[in-house]
Amino acid sequence: MRLFDELCPAPPTWSLDWSAVREALPWVRKMAGVEQDPVHHAEGDVDTHTRMACEALAELPGWRARPAPERVRLFAAVLLHDVGKAACTRREADGRITAHGHSRRGGLMARRLLWEGGAEVGWREHVAALVRHHQVPFWALERPDLRAIAFRVSLVARNDDLALLATADILGRRCGDTAEVLDNIALYREYCAEQRCLERPRDFPSDHARFWFFRKPDRDPDYAAHDDTRSTVTVMSGLPGAGKDTWIGSHRADLPVVSLDALRAEMGVRPTDPQRRVAAAAHELAREHLRAGRSFVWNATNLSRDVRDRCVGLASAYRARIEIVSLEAPPQVLRARLDRRPAPVPAAAVERLVRRWEYPDATEAHRVTGIAWPEA
């Protein structure tokens, strides 16, 4: 994004103009005064820490050696890495300050902010993924699922980027365990290099092998799984107004469709009513297609990973190949489309969906197709 280009430290001085950053980005100003755990953040509030992390990034030789577009992308990730703390910070009964869940919340917020700012989808998702996983190198070596975590990061961003972000994060703090954490980051880099996923996506023998690696614990990533699929389920994902029905009509017109909107209309259930009956009916209709080995389209918003996984899990149990098609458009285009509908979708309902929007990635399906339709 051009704004980050303008704010990013650059040669020959590599200096950071924090006042210009705060002036240009309202969400940075909101980090001022957000408390942090003084044991790990003796430097002060989130605003202070973020500034110090950006300054630390600008001093790293590994960051300076990157091409300019990669430097800007990493700078954006460092700026956003703690954006979720304001919403997650709590003072516990014993006086401790915690920010549990701020990485996941930060990833969601980063996606939303960059979407509203007009960022290109791939660039946006790379940054959002780094924010979502920014703490991984600190503790990853203690996790039994380290391999799956490292592989996923390699497919949604880059692990060498993640290591640089984590390094800037820890150097932007005043705490007593800096040396220990830097050692952990170095070990994480070594592990990713050994696993062939440091600077590039981890390779798999096939999309089917990749799909089942992320669905079965302890699976050998180099095992060439036999592809026994017998149908294809196209799982749609996108906010209301993104163009899912239009895309289906143009690209999957010959397939049956399990549509939650159609089921709601048939059952007389409003979008604001409890949706259990509608979801149960959709799953039963999907089972009919799956038992018969028929390919079909699952048409719903499916914006969160958990919701998509219910569709994917059911379909994969019947040996279906999974394709996720993610559609999106700029906020103003979505709103204009929704306002033209005979029954406009309330802005509050769309807002609730945007807050939990997780972009699908290659760990969820055999194939993920992203389509951005900018036209109104």
Q: What are 270-323's pLDDT values in tens digits?
A: 877 888 899 999 999 999 999 999 999 999 999 999 999 999 999 999 999 999
**Whole-number Å distance between alpha carbons of 172 and 42:** 10
**Whole-number Å distance between alpha carbons of 282 and 302:** 13
231-372 classified as CATH 3.40.50.300: yes
The string of pLDDT tens digits covering residues 20-61 is: 999 999 999 999 999 998 888 989 999 999 999 999 999 999
**Whole-number Å distance between alpha carbons of 302 and 129:** 19
Q: Quick check: helix, strand or coil at residue 320?
A: strand
Q: How many CB atoms lie within 10 A of CB 39?
A: 11
Q: What is the pLDDT of residue 375?
A: 64
Single-letter code of the amino acid located at 216: K
Is 90 exceeded by the pLDDT of residue 349? no
Q: What is the pLDDT of residue 275?
A: 84
Q: What is the pLDDT of residue 272?
A: 74
- When pLDDT is averaged across residues 76-103 and rounded to a whole number, the result is 95
**Whole-number Å distance between alpha carbons of 337 and 317:** 37
Torsion region of 185: left, alpha or beta (phi above 0 gives left; psi -120 to 50 gives alpha):
alpha
The string of pLDDT tens digits covering residues 116-159 is: 999 999 999 999 999 999 999 998 888 889 999 999 999 999 99
- When pLDDT is averaged across residues 363-375 and rounded to a whole number, the result is 90
Pairing state of beta strands 367-372 and 257-259? unpaired
Domain ranges of the chain: 2-194, 231-372
Is 70 exceeded by the pLDDT of residue 331? yes
**pTM score, two decimals?**
0.96
Is 70 exceeded by the pLDDT of residue 13? yes
Per-residue pLDDT band for 75 (boundaries 50, 70, 90) equals very high
What is the three-state SS of 163-192?
A: HHHHHHHHHCCCCCCHHHHHHHHHHHHHHH
User: For residue 72, what are its two tokens?
Assistant: 């800007």
Structural contact between residues 376 and 336, judged by C-beta atoms closer than 8 angstroms:
yes
Strand partners, 105: none
> Given the structure tokens 């991984």, which residue do they identify?
136
The CATH T-level fold of domain 2-194 is Hypothetical protein af1432 (1.10.3210)
